[in-house]
Each structure stands twice: as structure tokens, then as C-alpha cells.
Amino acid sequence: MQQVKPHPGLEIDGFTLGQQLHKGGFATIWEVTHPLYRTAMVMKVPTILDGDDGPTIVGFEVEQMILPRLTGPHVPRVMGVGDFDVMPYVVTERIPGRSLLHDFASAPLPVSDVIEMAARMAAAVHDIHRQHVIHLDLKPDNFLQRESGEMVLVDYGLSRHDQLPDLLAEEFTIPMGTFPYIAPEQYLRQRGDLRSDLYALGAMIYELATGRKPFGDPEKLSQVRKRLWQDPMPPRGLRPDVPEWLQEIILRALEVDPARRYQSAAQMIFDLTHPQQVRLTERSHRLKPDGFWVVWRRKRVMRRVKSLGTPIATSSQIDRAPILLVAVDLAPEMEALSSRLFQSVKRMLTIQPDARVACVNVIKTARIGIDQTIDEYGNNLHVVRLVALKGWAEGIDLTDDRLTYTILENPDPASAVLDHALAVQADHIMMGARGHSTTRRFLGSVSARVVAEAHCSVTVIRLPERPEDQPSAG
């Protein structure tokens, strides 16, 4: 099938191959140039032998289908794709730096580094999930880092796009994935659940925190099967300084039943960035894995299991558990507007009962770095606002881990809301809009800017205008 072999100096479709940068078991990576592109680029070419290379060929076809459909900072930009008639390839931008393999080789890392890295990894995973893709082969060497800090996910040969045919499932029946990180449902040949990626994330965070993989380095599928009934050593049993809330996050992600895991990567990010509001269960206190008889009884049940539920479409899974950011104006004259916003949030929760609500209020400072949080009576304005924000939310019937409160300080309220929405991976923003005024018409309003620049959908609540508020014809 392959008529041209890659080599230095080869020209194909305007691309000129330079040195070989990497040689793996399934593909080689080459430095390439093109007269139309000034950016550094690499070409990935599958290693196709004369024997039976069905999985390699189909996996590369899958990557060629999926990768050009992805956009954003968490995926490499695609410059070209070559078909199998001459030489199959994918050309993308070259991400400077190395994969996370080096960081994992240095594990265990300081807890603060584990948390920061885990949040950035989860942000990349959430980004591709929002674009209908489940990676299904998350591992340290498939995470690269941009100089600006964003994680970049590569290698989509085992991935699943829920709006495209699943070529791998159509042609092969064996489970596919990297054994230390593969989810139990992947072992059962289920490829349509985004929570499989959350399981792999949990396994990697476990490794960063403890220096050990939760299930070792299995080499056979029969060894992978055991994770249907076996649980790993709790991280605190290996490293006592791991916080209970971080162990809660890790072990929740590693639950065998996908329904007991996080339902979206955004939820995991939310907990990683709000540790004081992580709801602790018995998982957080454990220091040992389950005993022999508990595991034996679980094995009797799980060895007969053929599937772990039927997942819905990726976008629908995310929509079922959204992050709802609510920006509340606590000014006394805005009481009627904030009350209407409260009722709108309550209605939203009847439609999306699994949502998490992040309530925020902004203290407008003259400029960042100036302490202006003491009011005229000597009270800490931050504390006063936090109490008021919690008072506003009283009556929203959610558990503490699903209802958070944050006071932001920024000279630009719109920027504060936009930045926080991005940080918590909000799926929807709700906020009120003050009445019309000449200043707002000429300079613009906070709500208008949030609508214009937000990465997600925005609902703006207004009060009905009275006739006397309408501007005159003159």
C-alpha cells in the first residue's frame, strides 16, 4: 500500500522532510518545512510493515479523521494530511518542549505541583470532550506543554468521535489502550464513555502523587481484568502528607463504576481548584485497600459483568453536569435584580439538577495590588461580601460541594467574571444587567462585554423597564 518511504530530503505535497525526531513502534516523527508556513512543524508517518498492520492502519485513519476537526490551544494545529495512495501522514505545528514523561519519572512531586499539573491536564481533556472526542489513550507521553502553560493532547489513534463512525470498534474486538491507565469499561470493549478518560486522569494523578501506578505495569489483558474488582492502595497509605481531599478526588476518579466517578473533567477541575469545598466520603480516610473477603465477594459479582452501563453522547454527558457561574450584584439598589437572578437560577436547576453553581461577586478596585477591602466602618469588605453572597444563595438546595462562593477583586469587573469562568471551565454564565443610562450606552456595560467575550453561553437577566425609564425622543 505504501509506495513512498519517509527519509530526509523527501518532498511530498510541498513538505520537505528534515531529520527524524522520534521512532516509535507505530509511527515516526519528522521535522518538516513548507514554503507557505513559517511555524515549526512535524510530520507523523505510520510504520506499516508487510505483515498484518490492520490496527496501525485503522488507527492512523482515525487520527486523520479526528485531529483536523479539533481546534484550540489544547490540540496541535493541523497543516496537512496525506492519504495512503502515496504516503500517509499528518503534519502539525511542533510543540516545543517535551512530554510529561520527565515529570512522571520524577514522581512523587510536591503536592502543590501535583494539584497544579492535574488541573491543567484536566482542562485539556475537558476541551476535547466539548468537541465530541474521547481520547481513550491518555498517558504521560501523550501530554505536551506549550510555553504558555497549556497542556496539549496528541496521538488520537485510539480515540472516539461521537459524530463519526468508530472504525476501531467496527473492525476489532480486542480492548485497546495503555494497560496501566485503561478504564475497566475499556477492558469490556466499551469505547463511548468520556468517563474512561477521567479514570485515566485519576490513575495519572495517583502516579504523580505517590510515584507508583495504581495497578502497577500489567503486561497482559488478564491482569487488567482484575481492576474490575480490585482497588488500589489509597495514596495516603503510601504518602501520608497527601491531603484527604486530594485522595477523595483520586479515588473517586478510579471508581470501577463510571456512574460513581466524576461525570465531566470540568467537575474534577472544580474540585482541584476549590479544595476546601471537596465533599469528603469514606474514600478520603482510607489507608489500606479492601480486605480479602470484600474483594472476593466483589470478584464473584464482577467476573460475570459484560458492560458497565450504556453512556449517552459525549456532549449530552457534559450537559448533564454543567458548571453554572452566577455573577451577583450585591449593591442595595440592585436587590430587585438580584432577586430575579436568584429565581432564574432556581429554574435553571430544575432543568439541570446535576449542575454545580459557582457564585461570584466582584469588588471593583482602583487597580490590582492596592488593598481597598476595608470599608468606611473598618470592616473587611471581602468578608462582608462573602456573607452577603451566601445570604443571597440561601434557598438554593445543593450540597456544599456543588455550591461555591468566591469574591473577586479587579478594577475591571467584566475581566474578573470572564477570567474566573475560564478558570472553573464554566459551561454557562448567568448575571444581571443594570438599567440603561447614557454612560452605559456610550461606554458599554459589564454584561455586554461578558456576552461578547465569554467562551461559553451567557444568560443576562433584566428587570422590566417602566415607561418613565425610557429615553425621550429628543
CATH homologous superfamily of 322-469 equals HUPs (3.40.50.620)
Grid cell digits, residue 123: 482542562
User: 163: which residues sit within 8 A by CB, 6+ positions away?
Assistant: 132
**C-alpha cell recorded at residue 54:** 490492520
Superfamily for 101-316?
Transferase(Phosphotransferase) domain 1 (1.10.510.10)
3-state SS class at 170? helix
Per-residue confidence (pLDDT) for residue 439, from 0 to 100: 43
Q: Residue 411 and residue 1: Cα distance in Å, rounded?
A: 62
pLDDT at 288: 95
Sheet with strand 323-327: strands edge to edge: 403-410, 356-364, 323-327, 428-432, 457-461
> Would you say 265 and 198 are in contact if contact means Cβ atoms under 8 Å apart?
yes
pLDDT digits (tens, 9 = 90+) for 133-176: 999 999 999 999 999 899 999 999 999 998 898 888 887 778 88
pLDDT score at 466: 57
Lookup: cell for 434: 443594570
CB–CB of 57/83 below 8 Å? no
| Best CA proximity match to 423, nearest among 408, 412, 436, 434 | 408
Query: Which candidate, 142, 161, 144, places its Cα nearest to that of 61?
Result: 161
How far is it, in rounded angstroms, from Cα 375 to Cα 473? 41
Query: pLDDT (tens digit, 9 = 90+) per residue, 266-299?
Result: 999 999 999 988 989 999 999 999 999 999 999 9
pLDDT at residue number 442: 42
For Cα atoms 117, 119, 121, give the angle at the middle one, nearest 5 degrees: 70
- pLDDT for 417 equals 93
For the chain, what's the residue count?
A: 474
State how far the Cα of 431 lies from the Cα of 446, in Å rounded to an integer.
10
Are 147 and 278 spatial neighbours (Cβ–Cβ below 8 Å)? no
Element (H, E) at 356: strand 356-364
pLDDT < 50 regions, the chain? 1, 368-370, 438-443, 469-474
Q: How far is residue 143 CA from its own chain's centroid?
A: 13
Quick check: helix, strand or coil at residue 29? strand
Domain 11-93 part of CATH 3.40.50.720: no
DSSP codes joined into one string, 434-455: PPP-HHHHHH--HHHHHHHH-S
Provide the residue ranges of all domains of the chain, joining segments of one domain with +: 11-93, 101-316, 322-469
How many distinct helices (H) and strands (E) make up the chain?
17, 15
User: What tens digit of pLDDT does each residue of 103-135 get?
Assistant: 999 999 999 999 999 999 999 999 999 999 999
Tell whether the torsion through CA atoms of 390, 393, 397 and 399 is positive or negative: negative
Q: Is residue 266 a contact partner of residue 425, using CB atoms and an 8 Å limit?
A: yes
CB environment 440-474: b (16+ within 10 A), e (fewer): eeeeebbbebbbeebebebbbbeeeeeeeeeeeee
